Amino acid sequence: MTDVTESEIQERPQTPASDGCLSVRNLTTVFTTKRGTVAAVTDVNFDLRAGETLGIVGESGSGKSVTAMSILGLIPRPPGKVVSGEIRVDGKNLLALDRRSLRAASGSDVAMIFQDPMTSLNPVHRIGAQIAEGILAHQRRPSKADKEAARRRAVELLAAVGVPAPERRARQYPHELSGGMRQRVMIAMAMSCDPKVLIADEPTTALDATIQAQIMRLLREVQRRTNVGIMLITHDIGLVAQNVDRVMVMYAGRVVEMGTVEEVLGNPKHPYTVGLLRCTPSRLPADSVRRRLTPIHGLPPNPTDLPPGCSFAPRCELRGDRERCLLEQPELRPAPTDDHRSACHFLEEVTP
């Protein structure tokens, strides 16, 4: 633990506040359950720069969404609690804010779009009103003119995310829109206050493939226009390969590998990442070795009963009989540069 803190202190000057619009340090979030306290996210560190897209991948329960929810203060309390860490947006530590200031930051500094656009919009209010509500939530005692301006801005935002006939759409209810349209509405809503960070939690999982491509293109376009930093949470490696600058791989609540998308996907240095890539379908010809999908054997560990060493050790093909993996928790270390880091004791032996 002490090692990490020291390396961070050295690291901080390398990422000055100006280009690191979001920086997360030592984030640990726990949930209290009947069977004891479960760490959903343990000691997570990462930075997101303006205009950059960071992909967060990992299977269900690996802590991707909990990381995102911790940033926005959306962890239900109880049972959840952020027990330590720092989440800085433009130098402001969100975890140190009181409720009111955190509310002011949600939506304006950090905005989020969710997996299921079908249920993420309020069914009984009009689209336009829901977008305007986000704008007005950040104004003190909005006047009638402010409300009218917010309504007009909502229409503009709808037009900007490619919703045809925005005036008419703004007056419609969510059930009158298709899934893709609703996700566009969610993006418009998220961008309504010019956030610095946009968290997209599996934004395309509930949509079909052609719409997925449109939504991702829209996100890239929005990013180009506004220079927003995007945190893209997904379990779709293909989506990561095409849309992100850097990747963070999570397993059992910890970051196991992190680096540029080329490095992590092209030259993975953690056995879990290798396993993930092996079970991703590719478009290579049928006789290619990589065409065959190889599943990772076993199941993720029970979060109430994490092994003392590397959480991935029980499923790891690289481990062999080595005791160290079972006893000692591996820390993220350069593999071999600071731009590509892996939490494997034997990362030098990892081959794709």
Partner 1 sequence: MARYFLKLSGRLLLTLAVVSTAVFFLIRLTPGGPAVAMLGQDASPDAVARLNEKLGLTDPLLLQYWKFLAQLAQGSLGESLTNGLSVSETILGVLPHTLELAVAGLAIGMLGGITLGIVEAVWKDRSPDVVGRVLSLVGLSFPSFFVAVLLILFIALPLGLPTNGVAPFTEPGSNLQRVLLPALAMGIVSTAYTSRITRSLMVEIIGENHVRTARAKGVREGRVLVRHVLQPGSLPLVPIAGISFITLVGDAVLIETVFARPGLGSLMVSAMQARDYTTVQGCIIVITTVIVLVNAAVDALYHVLDPRTKTV
Residues of this chain that bind partner 1 (CB under 8 A): 72, 74, 99, 103-108, 111-112, 114, 116, 119-125, 133-134, 137-138, 173, 175-176, 186, 189, 193
Query: Which CB, 108 or 273, lies closer to partner 1?
Result: 108
Residue spans of alpha helices (H) in 106-208: 127-136, 144-160, 166-170, 179-191
* 268: helix, strand or coil: coil
Q: How far is the CB of 120 from partner 1 (least distance, A)?
A: 4
Query: Which CB, 105 or 231, lies closer to partner 1?
Result: 105
C-alpha closest to that of 186 among 205, 165, 166, 200: 200
Q: How far is the CB of 300 from partner 1 (least distance, A)?
A: 24
Q: How far is the CB of 286 from partner 1 (least distance, A)?
A: 41
Query: Which CB, 4 or 102, lies closer to partner 1?
Result: 102
Q: Are 301 and 242 in contact (CB under 8 A)?
A: no
C-alpha distances (whole Å) from 265 to each of 118, 135, 158, 272, 274 are 32, 39, 35, 12, 8
Residue 27: partners with Cβ closer than 8 Å, 6 or more residues away = 41, 43, 44, 45, 67, 70, 82, 84, 85, 86, 87
Query: Which CB, 190 or 237, lies closer to partner 1?
Result: 190
Q: What span, in angstroms and rounded, lies between the C-alpha atoms of 45 and 159?
A: 37
Q: How far is the CB of 65 from partner 1 (least distance, A)?
A: 11
Query: Which CB, 13 or 123, lies closer to partner 1?
Result: 123
Query: Which CB, 233 or 325, lies closer to partner 1?
Result: 233
Q: How far is the CB of 293 from partner 1 (least distance, A)?
A: 32
Q: How far is the CB of 56 from partner 1 (least distance, A)?
A: 17
Query: Which CB, 151 or 333, lies closer to partner 1?
Result: 151
- Strands 20-33 and 80-89: what pairing? antiparallel
Q: How far is the CB of 33 from partner 1 (least distance, A)?
A: 13
Q: What span, in angstroms and rounded, lies between the C-alpha atoms of 120 and 114?
A: 7
Q: What span, in angstroms and rounded, lies between the C-alpha atoms of 132 and 166?
A: 14
Query: Which CB, 53 or 65, lies closer to partner 1?
Result: 65
Q: How far is the CB of 192 from partner 1 (least distance, A)?
A: 8
* 239: helix, strand or coil: helix
Q: Are 106 and 73 in contact (CB under 8 A)?
A: yes
